[in-house]
Amino acid sequence: MPTSNLLQSLPLAVDSLSFGIYTSLFVQCLHLLYHTRRAHYRLYLSAMCALYLLSTLHIVLAFTWAAITDTADYAIYEVFSLKQPLPVLSRPGDPPVVHALATLIKALWVVSNGIADAVLIHRLYIIWGGNPRAVALPVVSYSLTMISAVVDLLPLPPAATRSALIVAMSSVFLTNVLSSALTAGRIWFMSRSCKRVVGTKRRARYTQLMVIILESGLIYPALLVITIAVFVAPTTPTVAVLSCFAVLYHIVGIAPTLIIVRVSSGVNDDEEVGPFPRSLPLPTDNSTSRLTTLHFAVPETVAGASPDEPLELNFRVKGSPI
């Protein structure tokens, strides 16, 4: 096969490799969620299955498009493009179904982002004790994502479509960064609040959980930044840009799946994220306190507790309401 044809097939190969990695993580995620069955596990199980189904539909559409037209190896990854004018996705002799496939691929990406970001925001809401103030900014950013993404699906002029895509990508980035940072920040606050009643090992587990949330949660926004940076670089070959877009299609589902796998298999400290820690309420009055309960998984034997039984700690947090 000529070198040019090999390069043309690279984005599709990267797409397939990303899907293979996602499949491996998804199987682990299913096993962990089903066997631990902690709080909200049905919700997260349904969301992870939906994300994987959408990713599977994408890879099926990718190979279907490749079988229909010779431009598919490139064109399918230019469905989302910041070029001005927008790239041509089909040739004059291609069947009309190619246009339908392009719209369907866009729709899959929109739905995937909607589910993945909703999981992030729900997780944030739970860990902040159901306080709506904690999720206010992520919800606004999430709304912008969905509105602009739906606008991008409409048959609008190229300039309007490009603007809608820019807003969608920016708000996706903001939603993921805010949700991950606020979640990690809450875990940090909880670890400091209970440092007098738990040992060094358990505080280290909180730190490890915080690092996992930040590392896994920021994968998607980091890849968005890399993709845009590669796109705007004047000497970057087109195949490099399109390969980044190929990964983006699946990283939407990989990121939340990876968080569940890493937390469940590596830390296993809480119940709310599959699992996730039960949080402290937001402090509202410096003169009062509230009796709060935290649950920790106990991997080692604790007096009177089995290895899998949560350790319940009751303590008062200065500044929280009664």
Cross-strand partners of 104:
none
| 303 occurs within a structural domain | no
Residue 95: how many other CB atoms lie within 10 Å? 11
Q: Does the global pTM surpass 0.85?
A: no
| 287 occurs within a structural domain | no
Residue 280: how many other CB atoms lie within 10 Å? 21
Q: What is the pLDDT of residue 124?
A: 92
Q: What is the pLDDT of residue 251?
A: 93
Tokens of 19: 């899907």
| 293 occurs within a structural domain | no
The domain total for the chain is: 1
Tokens of 16: 């397939």
| Domain membership of residue 121 as a residue range | 3-274
| 318 occurs within a structural domain | no
Tens-of-pLDDT digits for all 322 residues of the chain?
Answer: 444 556 677 888 888 999 999 999 999 999 888 887 777 788 889 999 999 999 999 999 888 877 776 554 566 666 666 665 555 555 556 666 767 777 888 889 999 999 999 999 999 999 898 889 999 999 999 999 999 999 888 887 877 888 888 899 899 999 999 999 999 888 888 877 776 666 677 777 778 888 888 888 899 999 988 888 887 776 667 777 778 888 988 999 999 999 889 887 765 444 443 344 444 444 444 443 333 333 333 334 344 444 343 333 333 333 333 3
Residue count of the chain, please give it. Answer: 322
User: In angstroms, rounded to a whole number, what is the distance separating the alpha carbons of residues 230 and 227?
Assistant: 5
Tokens of 111: 């739905």
| 99 occurs within a structural domain | yes
| 164 occurs within a structural domain | yes
Among candidate residues 205, 219, 174, the one with its CA nearest the CA of residue 275: 205
Among candidate residues 40, 33, 43, the one with its CA nearest the CA of residue 259: 33
| 279 occurs within a structural domain | no
Q: What is the pLDDT of residue 195?
A: 66
CATH number, residue 57: 1.20.1070
| 160 occurs within a structural domain | yes
| Cis amide prior to 138 (ω within 30 degrees) | no
CB 196 within 8 A of CB 173: no
